[in-house]
């Protein structure tokens, strides 16, 4: 649930208008502290998966906590540099990209995880062992909140399949490639600690083929609670389990490995709230529709993944409970919630969507030529605008208008 008060959210809507994304910096900091504490004593590094939310002010705040950053495109790498990250704090985990983009990342000097034999071979041919890289493996583990966000299973496009191990070793041998990192990212919203432990097992099973590997990168994917009462990944248990696994590996083999993680949702999901205003209340048959000043153009997760976002009626929290479909204003079905019990909704009420920090604004679009929302950040109790609401000029910005 939001760590900001309803009054703070209501005041923000008054000052900045709706629809509005509101973030809470200290919540991001608290999540990072939780991770650090859970892994205290271990040789571990955390790289914020920037794809979840790339506003430069968020990136700067993340940097100020001491966390490093994981990027999924060369543009995210450039944003990370603009936010003040050093190349050594930047990891670029690519998939299916042109080799030119890998070259560009190398020029900048960031850590690079490569996810295909084709690009690994090109890299090895070009640079042999002069620039250490990571290899993304496909561990063939099915896990994650839904199929779209499951990335490590045996039919997934991501990574070098374990079945291709021989060919990978061949590339290593033939080109002299210096493989420093073995990487997996199994999926998003993985609750079970056992899934992460299984991933570690898979990697530790093959690491002896790679004498130059110093880092095991386990990607992101920690689950956070979305529904009231729901539990997320038990990070503290995960810390204990993984520390044991890596310590016993070190005792057995005499080999020390550093562990990396790339959390996105864990750091920013709960730090975000999306505020919308109810524009139209409509009764059709037995169904009450609460139509709001937003839609799948601003928050697509419910429609795209069937994701649950908890909604609060912050204008009428003590109203009698009624059942609503909360719907958007886009020209196709964009239901945020169906048959959702909520305190009585009136036209003009403000609704607050929880868990709006990760993959929400970030996946927004200009569909129906509507403006994308403004974003604000609370830090030290003070809200500040970190993205202006779009205007008509923004819709036209890159269009060649001509005559």
Q: Which residues bind ligand LLP (CB under 6 A)?
A: 49, 52, 70, 93, 149, 185, 188, 219-222, 262-266, 301, 305, 358-359
How far is 346 from 311, CA to CA, in rounded Å?
Answer: 15
**Which of 172/307 has CB closer to ligand LLP?**
307
Smallest distance from ligand LLP to CB 26, Å? 20
How far is 347 from 249, CA to CA, in rounded Å?
Answer: 61
**Which of 199/221 has CB closer to ligand LLP?**
221
Smallest distance from ligand LLP to CB 115, Å? 9
Smallest distance from ligand LLP to CB 320, Å? 33
**Which of 18/72 has CB closer to ligand LLP?**
72
**Which of 65/316 has CB closer to ligand LLP?**
65
- What does the angle CA 85 – CA 246 – CA 38 come to, to the nearest 5 degrees? 60
Q: Which are the contacts of 235, defined by CB distance < 8 A and separation ≥ 6?
A: 34, 35, 38, 222, 266
How far is 27 from 17, CA to CA, in rounded Å?
Answer: 23
**Which of 188/329 has CB closer to ligand LLP?**
188
How far is 343 from 294, CA to CA, in rounded Å?
Answer: 20
Residue 288 near residue 282 (C-beta atoms within 8 A) = yes
What number of other Cβ atoms are within 10 A of residue 201's Cβ?
13
Residue 291 is classified by DSSP as E
By residue count, the chain amounts to 403
Residue 340 near residue 324 (C-beta atoms within 8 A) = yes
**Which of 281/363 has CB closer to ligand LLP?**
363
Smallest distance from ligand LLP to CB 68, Å? 12
Pinpoint the alpha helices (H) of 41-153.
56-65, 74-82, 99-108, 117-127
Coil, strand or helix: which one is 249? helix
Residue 64: alpha-carbon gap to chain centroid: 19
Q: Which are the contacts of 266, defined by CB distance < 8 A and separation ≥ 6?
A: 31, 35, 220, 222, 224, 232, 233, 235
**Which of 31/172 has CB closer to ligand LLP?**
31
Smallest distance from ligand LLP to CB 358, Å? 6
The DSSP code sequence of 183-242 is E---BSSB--HHHHHHHHHHHHHHGGG-TT--EEE----B----STT-----HHHHHHHH
How far is 145 from 304, CA to CA, in rounded Å?
Answer: 13
Smallest distance from ligand LLP to CB 324, Å? 23
Residue 132 near residue 109 (C-beta atoms within 8 A) = no
Point out the catalytic residue in the list 67, 71, 331, 360: 331
Smallest distance from ligand LLP to CB 52, Å? 5
Is position 331 annotated as part of the catalytic site? yes
List, by residue number, the catalytic residues.
Answer: 331
């Amino acid at each position: 649930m939001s760590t900001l008060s309803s009054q703070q959210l209501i005041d923000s809507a008054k000052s900045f208008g709706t629809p509005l994304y509101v973030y809470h910096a200290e919540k991001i900091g608290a999540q990072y502290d939780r991770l650090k504490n859970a892994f205290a004593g271990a040789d571990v590094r955390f790289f914020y998966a920037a794809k979840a939310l790339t506003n430069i002010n968020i990136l700067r705040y993340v940097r100020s906590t001491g966390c490093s950053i994981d990027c999924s495109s060369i543009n995210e790498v450039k944003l990370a540099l603009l936010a003040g990250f050093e190349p050594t704090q930047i990891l670029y985990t690519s998939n299916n990209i042109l080799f030119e983009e890998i070259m560009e990342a190398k020029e900048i000097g960031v850590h690079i995880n490569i996810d295909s034999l084709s690009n690994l071979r090109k890299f090895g041919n070009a640079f042999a062992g002069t620039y250490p890289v990571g290899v993304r493996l496909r561990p063939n583990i099915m896990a994650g909140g839904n199929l779209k966000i499951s990335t490590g299973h045996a039919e997934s496009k991501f990574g070098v399949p374990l079945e291709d191990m021989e060919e990978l070793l061949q590339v290593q041998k033939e080109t002299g490639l210096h493989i420093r990192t073995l990487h997996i990212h199994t999926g998003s919203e993985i609750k079970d600690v056992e899934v992460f432990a299984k991933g570690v097992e898979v990697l530790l099973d093959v690491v002896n083929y790679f004498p130059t590997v110093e880092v095991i990168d386990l990607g992101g994917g920690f689950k956070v609670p979305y529904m009231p009462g729901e539990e997320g990944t038990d990070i503290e248990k995960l810390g204990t389990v993984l520390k044991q696994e890596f310590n016993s590996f070190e005792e057995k083999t005499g080999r020390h490995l550093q562990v990396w993680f790339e959390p996105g949702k864990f750091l920013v999901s709960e730090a975000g709230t999306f505020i919308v205003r109810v524009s139209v209340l409509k009764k059709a048959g037995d169904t009450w529709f609460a139509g709001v000043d937003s839609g799948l153009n601003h928050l697509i997760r419910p429609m795209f993944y069937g994701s649950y976002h908890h909604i609060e009626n912050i204008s009428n929290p003590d109203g009698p409970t009624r059942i609503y479909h909360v719907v958007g204003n886009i020209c196709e079905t964009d239901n945020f919630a169906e048959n959702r019990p909520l305190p009585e909704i009136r036209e003009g009420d403000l609704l607050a969507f929880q868990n709006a920090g990760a993959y929400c604004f970030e996946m927004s679009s200009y569909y129906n030529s509507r403006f994308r929302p403004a974003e604000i950040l609370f830090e030290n109790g003070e809200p500040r605008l970190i993205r202006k609401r779009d205007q008509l000029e923004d819709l036209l910005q890159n269009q060649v208008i001509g005559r």
